[in-house]
Structure 1
Amino acid sequence: MECIQKRNNYISVIVPMYNVEKYLEECVDSIEKQTYKNIEVILVDDGSEDSTFEVAKCLAKKYKNIVLLQQENGGQAKARNTGLIKASGQYISFVDADDFIDSRMFEIMIQACEKHNLDIMECCYQDVFMKKKVFGNKYFLRIDEQKIYDGKEFFEFKPSLSPCDKLYKHSYMKKINFKCTEGHYAEDAYDSSYAILSAKRIMHSNTIVYFYRRDNLGSTRNNQDIIRRVKLGEDKIYIANKLEELRKDMEIHGGYLSNIIVRNILGTILCPFCLKSKYYRGKIRKYFIQYKVNRLIRNNLSFSIIFDLTLVGIRKLITKGD
């Protein structure tokens, strides 16, 4: 009877790890300090080259609800999928190993999921720069926090495309055959779009409970290696194509999904590497032809998207100036 009771509303928290020896303990401690205790923590080491796995083994001895897995390096998406296979909870959460969460996160989200029978519950996150001890941008939605939305309606409020600020019903993920896109950077844009757009019942809370570390120099967004940057550029174009297929399958015309497609493409050319590196420009030009990018732009570009992207650019300049 005790075992059955423990499994009610059980949350599996999946934490992919790669070279995060500096951050892992803080991340796991923040999960273990949750006011909601009915959780398992699945740590998946993705072939780390530092002492990440040793730190994880110490944490597994300290906390009895940790499941520790190890695999050859295959990328964050593969590590998440490995965790999904092992997960036994009725709900799934993803937390990146260099981030941390508020102690109330799962209590807030599980209460909403259970009360309203949700497929997905989304919360609010905030950027943090730990070296400067500065809290950055906050992610909010101008939305009715008491309303249950259909996925397509919710998507037009421009939700976060990170999987980490959400709680998913496990049975829903199985129903839509959810699997993270392996082998590509920028996969979150597609994976999150697919999960949200497929949902029938989704809600959002503007309570800040997830903290997204922005100054991890080992992360993809901060990597200055030209080969990886070319790979990131190709993957952004590849993901834009997958999003275009999703747009057609779901019969969506314009809106936020088209915005993401165009933004992914522009992100490959409106970057410092495009100006600095002839090698980068040559590779991206090749991918533009291979993936028929002109067709993607024609299908998705509109005046409203141009206006929206211009506002985003102005906002970034103002923020940088501050």
Structure 2
Amino acid sequence: MNQKVSVVVPIYKVEQYLARCVESILEQTYTNLEVILVNDGSPDNCGTIAESYAISDNRVKVFHKENGGLSDARNHGMQYVTGEYTIFVDSDDWLERSMIEELVKISSEYEAEVVQSAFYYAYNDHLLFDNRVYNQKASPVVLDNKLLMYELVRNNVVKNFAWGKLYKTKLIKDIPFKKGVLFEDVFWAHQVMRSVQTFVCLNTPYYFYLQRDDSIVATYSPRNLDILKGLKERHRFIEKYYVNLTNESYKTLLKTNLIHYNLLLRNRKKDYKGLYRKEIYEYIKGNFTEIKKAAEDDELLKKQLILFIIHPYLNVFFLILQKVLRKVKILPQPIGLERIDF
């Protein structure tokens, strides 16, 4: 169990976080590493910081390029990968010291092409752990291709994120990330997973996923709608290769469209003449029969769909009413995530 692991870290405007990220990689208990730092034209001191690590540790390689976005930086880094395994780490996140060792061990033990770590949502003064999905006392979850694709579409146990997973490099070497989009992982993950025969999910969190203070409402822009483009592209893939998952795909599309309609409503100034909201409404209306069939086993989602089709504001009022009823304890509060204070 001493195969080389390549760690690809795209870097852009993370001067205050970069040291923590890189040091968490270099301090791993698994030492046969190749750390590929890709400075994606960052205008701050990230390039200089990255070079300092290359000087002090010969496992670090630094590449500088013009800014092209996260996908372009990852694709650039993949050109220089020589390890049998590859991990992507976002440059504001960090790893628990034994993460890579544990993931390599599990990959070898189960002959898995991909191993996924559970993770923490990391804030300045606390962590959140999704104990609704992951049980730290439980054994690893082993999925064949059929179950893997089901869980990927649901984005529940298996996450669409590229980070937090150990991949056999040969699996992903020739599948580039789509450039020029947000939520690039949604465009990419299903293409990778199609070839996976054994996928293992660990219930232990080894990855710290930083949550910035910026509110999604405050920073929202029409570019966030790229996720809908990615899900529609994936839906066409599902219809072609995994037709039995079509209903699950429609449900994910419905939930995500409803979320983004409401976000656009709260950011009306960024949706000139309501054109993006109209596009969402027309998509749901145009696929109403198929979407309604898909939502039959989810009473709440089906109710939201009917209200939305009658008038989108009815669904908004319904959600507000639910929130009020929970506040006055007429409805139970949804189960929250486990909080761990520092």
TM-score > 0.5, shorter chain as reference: yes
- How many residue pairs get matched? 302
Q: C-alpha displacement at 1:47, in angstroms?
A: 1.4
> Within 5 A, what are the aligned runs for 1:255-266?
256-266=248-258
- Tell me which of 290, 302, 305 is aligned to 2:295: 302
**Which residue pairs with 2:57 in the alignment?**
63
Match of 2:230 among 230, 239, 251: 239
Distance 1:164 1:116 in 2: 20
For residue 295 of structure 1, report the CA deviation from its aligned partner.
4.0
* Change beyond 3 A, Cα 1:230–1:142: same
Alignment map for 1:81-160 (pairs within 5 Å): 81-130=75-124, 133-138=125-130, 140-141=133-134, 145-146=139-140, 148-157=142-151, 158=156, 159-160=158-159
> Does residue 15 of structure 2 align to residue 21 of structure 1?
yes
Separation in structure 1 between the aligned mates of residue 65 and residue 285 of structure 2, nearest angstrom: 39
User: Does the 8 Å contact 1:161/1:189 carry over to 2?
Assistant: yes
Evaluate the alpha carbon distance shift between residue 259 and residue 55 of structure 1 in structure 2; reply closer, same or farther with a 3 A threshold.
farther
2:285 & 2:76 partners in 1: Cα distance?
36
Q: Of 265, 269, 279, which aligns to 2:261?
A: 269
Could you tell me how far apart the structure 1 residues matched to 2:277 and 2:97 are? Answer: 47
Could you list the per-position Cα deviations for residues 241-279 of structure 1 after superposition, in whole angstroms to 9, with x for gaps in the alignment?
2111111122333454333322332232122x4234144
On the 8 A contact 2:183/2:227 being kept in 1, the answer is yes
Q: Could you say which residue in structure 1 is the equivalent of 2:171?
A: 172
**2:329 maps to which residue?**
none
After TM superposition, the score normalised by the length of structure 1 is 0.82
Q: Contact (CA 8 Å) 2:186, 2:230: kept in 1 or not?
A: yes
**Whole-Å Cα distance in 1 between the matches of residues 183 and 270 of structure 2?**
21
Query: Who wins on radius of gyration, i.e. which is larger?
Result: 2
Q: Name the aligned partner's letter for residue 296 of structure 2.
A: F
CA distance in 2, matches of 1:118, 1:317: 35
Q: 2:193 aligned with 1:196, yes or no?
A: yes
Q: Kindly tell me: are residues 152 and 95 of structure 1, through their superposed partners in 2, closer, same or farther at Cα, counting changes over 3 Å?
A: same
Q: SS in structure 2 opposite 1:208?
A: strand
- Could you tell me the TM-score, scaled by structure 2's length? 0.78
Q: How far has the Cα of 1:292 moved from its partner?
A: 4.5
CA contact (8 A) 2:114 2:199 kept: yes
Native 8 Å contact 2:235 2:246 kept in 1: no
Structure 2, unmatched stretches of 5+, are: 305-318, 327-331
Q: Distance in 1 between matches of 2:171 and 2:298?
A: 31
CA contact (8 A) 2:121 2:128 kept: yes
Give the direction of change, closer, same or farther, for the CA distance of 1:40–1:274 in structure 2 (3 Å limit): same
8 Å contact kept, 1:244–1:296: no
- Three-state SS of the structure 1 residue aligned to 2:297 is helix
Within 2, Cα distance between the matches of 1:240 and 1:197?
A: 16
- 3-state SS of 2:218 partner: coil
Query: Aligned-pair RMSD on alpha carbons?
Result: 3.1
Measured at CA, do residues 50 and 263 of structure 1 come closer, stay the same or move farther in structure 2, by a change above 3 Å?
Answer: farther
Q: Which amino acid aligns with 1:193?
A: H
Alpha-carbon displacement from aligned partner over 1:141-165 (angstroms, at most 9, x marks no partner): 4797456421321343431121111
Residues 289-312 of structure 1, C-alpha deviations (whole Å, 9 max, x = no match): 8x945445654441335647989x
CA–CA distance in structure 2, aligned partners of residues 34 and 222 of structure 1: 33
Residue 186 in structure 1 maps to residue 183 in structure 2 = yes
Out of 196, 208, 213, which is 2:210 matched to?
Answer: 213
Equivalent position amino acid for 1:48 in 2: S
Structure 1: gaps (5+ residues): none
Matched residue SS, 1:74: coil
Cα distance in 2 between the residues matched to 1:83 and 1:316: 44
